[in-house]
Amino acid sequence: MRDALGSVQTALVVGGGSDIGLATARQLVDSGAETVILAARRPEALEGRTDELRKAGATVHVVEFDADDTASHEAFIAAQGELVGDIDVVLLAFGVLGDGTVNTDPQEAARLLHTNFVGAASVLLAAANQLRNQGHGAIVVLSSVAGERVRKTNFVYGASKAGIDGLAQGLGDALAGSGVDVIVVRPGFVHSKMTRGLSPPPFSTTPEEVADAIADALRTRRRVVWVPSVLRLVMIVARHLPRSIFRRLKF
Amino acid sequence: MTAMGGIGAIHAGQGVITVAAGVSLDSLMRTVVPQGWFVPVSPGTSFVTVGGAIAADIHGKNHHVDGSFCDHVLSFEMRTPDGELRVVLPDRDPEVFWATAGGMGLTGVITSATLRLLRIETSRIRVDTDRVSDIDELMALMESGDAHYRYSVAWIDPLAGGRHLGRAVLSRGDHASLADLDERERRDPLRFNPVSRLAAPPWMPNGLVRRATVQAFNEVWFRKAPKSQRDALHSLRAFFHPLDGVRGWNRVYGSQGFLQYQLVVPTGEEDTLRNLVERLSSAGSPSFISVLKRFGPGHGLLSFPIAGWTLTVDLPTGVAGLGQLLDELDERVVEAGGRVYLAKDSRLRPHLLPRMYPELTRWREIQAALDPKGVMRSDLARRLHLVSSSRDA
């Protein structure tokens, strides 16, 4: 149960191997979470990375999750409920960025969209049903500033994030009054293993800052979170730029 | 729950009354005060139901003399999770009675209760007020004098520090007798018309509650209290439920709201209490006037009161670091053999619960026997793992 100050007792991190997923798990454990499930495509890759959470006092479960296998998602969520009882917060922190060919290779683009949008949508709805039945909880969806206005340099990735962002907001409104909150988090460029080697644009951030922002949103019940927060203002401007100007921007 | 209304007749002479569980103390008082009776225990707000008063085994300003609400309950009727409607009396079924008293609603649904009311001659309270400049003076005054008063409560300025730590206004009194009233008032000694309710504006700017503004408010509040006043006559509402007159007073805390933290430490732990007040004062969370009072012994297995000192503080939740501060205070309270009030709790860590409430294991056994299938649930029970986890699936 999430308490009056936003601390949760049980958390499920889908994409538990991601830097943001782990940083958020750490943040939640530090503020009182007792049980954390880290769900990852390759659980073995998490070996050694959960010691810190256990040392901080949490019970940690590492389970397998395949975002592309949408047929398994309902059973996956139900199994986590069996494992720990009520789940106070579900964080969706998985996704792929795509390589250089994704903007030209239809197969590659379809794969990215399937993971980032179709897979995310499917597990999101499964989680929403579970939380609605238990009568409380929060779902945190990692969107991206890239989805707010899709850019020419990464439009397939941007479109996948625009899609899941819209879906999560609509779902959040549909769940109003059910006891379940949906929080959409829109980070800028995050320094992580996903973005290693890329040159950061202005207003870049870190997994720890994203984790702090998520913990803060759980406390204040804010539904849309920008990291860093200045991006909200930056994107108000960017959203309204004429396309003739927007497409000339170099980032 | 207020839909479960219905107030029976008062048995002549005895002050014994049967009321439906959904009746609020406010409507009960409107019925019984004009007939010369008062509720045996009245908390800081009258907008609580009789069922809720039993479930939380509520206390009032008279706990040091009269005990808590369930000490005045002669019996109640409860629908237990097996569907049975039981009449529970403290002598005949003490386990169920004292597991339900303070049991936070988890033993079944109380449908009605029979209580013993308090005889009153007037609807006024005769009040003595003392302004006290620090916490040691306050505790000494309460220890020496509280036994002479049915009602006693100290309003503490939680922001005052240094030599003013715990400065307070001590307010003590008892029901006024007919002889205390002047000729004009004696014509209608039981007049009871709670003030019409004002409302706080529907929207309050966030950020109103800052240390500086609250400090200024507390200062004015402290200064305007009489230094020492004897035998002043106050209305029941003004003495017991001053905030009930302002609907939505909590809005002053802005959209993030506040939480109330109430602790008790046993008699003899005065140093701990002073330390706790000091910690709160130095943490600087902008808190309006807090409440200190003394408890007598308690009875329910999960009832809050134990003989000692209870402190209640309102804390705006928007302040960062509040969780850690309260976790730290919890530890100190447990070390001292104290506990926090479950009816007000919204953030306690569950591992401290068995240490705060040593009868928890016994309570869980009785609760499990009444509710073998684990039907009764609440957010509080989930968060604190109150009901045993084997049925928690």
Give yes or no for A245 touching B (CB within 8 A): no
pLDDT at B2 over 60: no
Instruction: State whether B317 and A82 contact (CB < 8 Å).
Output: no
**Using the beta-carbon criterion (under 8 Å), do A219 and B317 form an inter-chain contact?**
yes
For residue A4, which residues of chain B lie inside 8 Å, CB to CB? 259, 317, 346-347
| Binary contact (A1, B383; C-beta < 8 A) | yes
A32 lies within 8 A of chain B by CB: yes
Kindly report the number of other CB atoms within 10 A of residue A218's CB atom: 25
Mean pLDDT across chain B: 91
Rounded Cα distance, A250 and A240, in Å: 17
CA dihedral B368, B373, B379, B381 (to 10 degrees): 20
According to DSSP, the β-strands at B228-235 and B168-175 are: unpaired
Return d(Cα A72, Cα A193) in angstroms, integer: 27
Of chain B, the percentage scoring pLDDT greater than 70 comes to: 92
Q: A99: burial class by Cβ within 10 Å (0-12, 13-18, 19+)?
A: exposed
Strand-pairing partners, residue A186, are A226
Which residues on A lie below 8 Å from B347 (Cβ)?
A: 3-5, 7
CB-based contact (8 Å) between A59 and chain B? no
Q: What is the pLDDT of residues B101-156, one digit of tens each?
A: 999 999 999 999 999 999 999 999 999 999 999 999 999 999 999 999 999 999 99
Confidence of residue B247 (pLDDT cuts 50, 70, 90): low
Rounded-to-integer distance, Cα A229 and Cα A120, Å: 24
Count A/B contacts: CB-CB distance under 8 Å: 32
- Judge: B347–A85 Cβ closer than 8 Å, yes or no: no
Closest CA to B294 of B103, B108, B148: B148
As for the ipTM of the complex, it is: 0.80
Q: How many CB atoms lie within 10 A of CB B210?
A: 11
Contacts of B256 in chain A (CB under 8 A): 220
Query: Using an 8 Å Cβ cutoff, are B52 and B127 in contact?
Result: no
Specify the pairing of strand A10-14 against strand A35-40.
parallel
Selected from 3.40.50.1700, 3.40.50.720, 3.30.540.10, 3.40.640.10, the CATH number assigned to the domain covering A10-246 reads: 3.40.50.720
Q: Confidence band (pLDDT; 50, 70, 90) for B388?
A: low
CB B364 within 8 A of CB B387: yes
Q: Judge whether A57 is closer than 8 Å to chain B, CB to CB.
A: no
pLDDT > 90: percent of chain B:
73
- Residue B13: CB partners within 8 Å, gap ≥ 6? none
- B347 closest CB neighbour out of A5, A85, A220: A5
Burial of residue A173 (CB within 10 Å: 0-12, 13-18, 19+) is exposed
Mean pLDDT calculated for residue range B163-180? 95
For B115, the token pair is 């209580």
CA atoms within 13 A on the CB side of A121: 14
Residues B364-386, mean pLDDT to the nearest whole number: 94
A221 CA: distance to closest CA in chain B (Å): 9
The average pLDDT across B221-248 equals 87
Q: Using 50 as the pLDDT threshold, list the residues of chain A that sit under it.
A: none
Select the residue of B323, B379, B393 nearest A7 (Cβ to Cβ).
Answer: B323
- Inter-axis angle of helices A73-84 and A120-134, nearest 10: 40
CB neighbours of A31 closer than 8 A, spacing ≥ 6? A6, A7, A215, B323
Lowest mean pLDDT among A235-244, B189-198, B304-313: B189-198
Per-residue pLDDT, B257: 82
Of B317, B392, B393, nearest to A4 by CB-CB distance is: B317
Nearest CA in chain A to B345: A4
B194: three-class secondary structure by DSSP: coil
| Strand segments (E) across chain A | 10-14, 35-40, 59-64, 89-92, 137-142, 180-187, 224-227
Contacts 24+ apart (CB under 8 A), A228-235: A228/A188, A228/A203, A230/A203, A231/A145, A231/A186, A231/A188, A231/A203, A234/A203, A235/A145, A235/A148, A235/A149
Residues of B with CB under 8 A from a CB of A: 256, 259, 317-318, 322-323, 346-347, 349-350, 379, 382-383, 389, 392-393
Query: With an 8 Å Cβ cutoff, is A99 touching chain B?
Result: no
* Beta carbons within 10 angstroms of residue B176's beta carbon: 21
